[in-house]
Amino acid sequence: MGRQTLLLGQTLSFEGSPFERGPDAARHSASGGVLIDRGLIVAVGDGAALIAAHPQAEQVRYGNALICAGFVDAHAHYPQTAIVASWGKRLIDWLNSYTFPEEMRFDDPDYAADAAQLYLDLTASHGTTTVCSYCTIHPHSVNALMQEAQSRGQRLFAGKTCMDRNAPEGLRDTAQSGYDDSKALLERWHGVDRLSYVITPRFSPTSTPEQLSAMGALWAEHPDCLMQTHLSEQLDEIAWVKSLFPQARDYLDTYESHGLLGARGLYGHAIHLEPRERTRLREVGAAMVHCPTSNTFIGSGLFDMDGLMREGQRIGLATDTGGGSSFSMLRTMASAYEIGQLRGRALHPAELMWLATVGSADTLHMGDRIGNLAPGMDADLMVLNLTSTPAIAQRADRANDIWEALFPTIMMGDDRAIHDVWINGCRR
């Protein structure tokens, strides 16, 4: 048996959803501990009791810092790392002006490998231990990210983006090649180490009905895979979809009619939904992924977190970099809070932390492995410094409970607040 490691500090975990049970769904200890061994969490509890029970464990003392699950980013585009925070475009123009030219550079495998390394460095520095990313149409863009994550022992979800129309020459595949490439990548990577392949049609405007059907067929052949795409992000996008699919009942129907609606589906943005779409997403148990910094940065709209949660929808949280303007899930939580305020429902710090960890893990169907502190779960952890800047410290010093202490870091924190990161039981 390898030597066990005992992390000591404040701890935060969840025994349920705070959207259903309120802040009482969280479990906070001011002097807690997390025991890890060979990549797994072995025990979570009172720090003194764990020291007594495991005297041989190597101790890592974090003082008043907060030990919690690493962030889970459920929707991102690692090939857009270099164009994050690009000025002044809405979705369709943004794709044509920034995204597609940058993604064309990924025809160079070395460029893809460098981008993958930088992206995983950046996300880890912000406390993110799991990401679900779109790649480009180039198969080696998937290989680059998978290989980089594999070398780090990191859990990763990713897939080749499929597009066979309304994209530049050099960024289009075909219905058949998209299927063939995706299948080959799936067979190479899915279930290897901590890697999962995600079937990835970008969105309906850039796939013909034939390609959507091919992706639906591939998903039916591999139903244990996730499928990710975009849904109802901007109003002009929805109008474009209606013009391209005049027979469809709504945007979601362009996926549903081609076998791309299911419980393991991830639908990014989902802002401007019709009642039928909301009903069908809930009926099948599909997941919506809220991307608040992106939704405000490119002017998409205000996600209905409160209404959708009350309906019983499955919802995760994501940066959507580079449409999103930050690699930080702390900044993403702050933006989700601000959007909630604009919609008349302030999200509690417990709800924000749950969304960025447990909620996002659940959308990836990995809630039993990542996103929480519990025995048997993967040791993907982060340690938050709740006094990382003078402004944050002076607010935290006045706190009466953990939520008052944590909220300033959610609203004002950045990578300086990430004191430590553990991936697969290894300190990064």
The 10s digit of each residue's pLDDT in 310-356 is 999 999 999 999 888 999 999 999 999 999 999 999 999 999 999 99
Place of tokens 């998937």: 142
> What's the whole-number mean pLDDT along residues 75-86?
93
The 10s digit of each residue's pLDDT in 133-188 is 999 999 999 999 999 999 999 999 999 999 999 999 999 999 999 999 999 999 99
Domains delineated in the chain:
5-70+372-427 (2.30.40.10), 71-363 (3.20.20.140)
The 10s digit of each residue's pLDDT in 19-58 is 999 999 999 999 999 999 999 999 999 999 999 999 999 9
> What's the whole-number mean pLDDT along residues 246-261?
98
Token pair in block for residue 364: 């990836």
From CA 127, how far away is CA 118, in angstroms rounded? 15
Q: What is residue 93's predicted lDDT score, i.e. its pLDDT?
A: 82
From CA 37, how far away is CA 358, in angstroms rounded? 22
Question: CA–CA distance from 110 to each of 190, 401, 410 (Å)?
Answer: 23, 49, 36
Question: CA–CA distance from 410 to each of 351, 354, 397, 400, 418 (Å)?
Answer: 12, 12, 15, 16, 12
Helix pair angle (175-189, 209-221), 10° resolution: 30
Indicate if the pLDDT at residue 2 is higher than 70: no
Q: What is residue 338's predicted lDDT score, i.e. its pLDDT?
A: 98
> What's the whole-number mean pLDDT along residues 250-265?
98
pLDDT confidence tier of residue 1, bands split at 50, 70 and 90: very low
The 10s digit of each residue's pLDDT in 265-294 is 999 999 999 999 999 999 999 999 999 999
The 10s digit of each residue's pLDDT in 368-381 is 999 999 999 999 99
- CB contact set of 401 (below 8 Å; sequence gap of 6+): none
The 10s digit of each residue's pLDDT in 209-230 is 999 999 999 999 999 999 999 9
Q: What is residue 416's predicted lDDT score, i.e. its pLDDT?
A: 98
Among residues 403, 330, 263, 281, the alpha carbon closest in space to that of 73 is found at 330
> Which amino acid appears at position 400 of this protein?
N
> Which amino acid appears at position 141 of this protein?
S
Q: How many CA atoms lie within 13 A of 60 on its CB side?
A: 20
Q: What is the pTM of this model?
A: 0.97
The 10s digit of each residue's pLDDT in 51-74 is 999 999 999 999 999 999 999 999
Indicate if the pLDDT at residue 90 is higher than 60: yes
The 10s digit of each residue's pLDDT in 110-140 is 999 999 999 999 999 999 999 999 999 999 9
Of the two residues 406 and 169, the one the predictor is more confident about is: 406
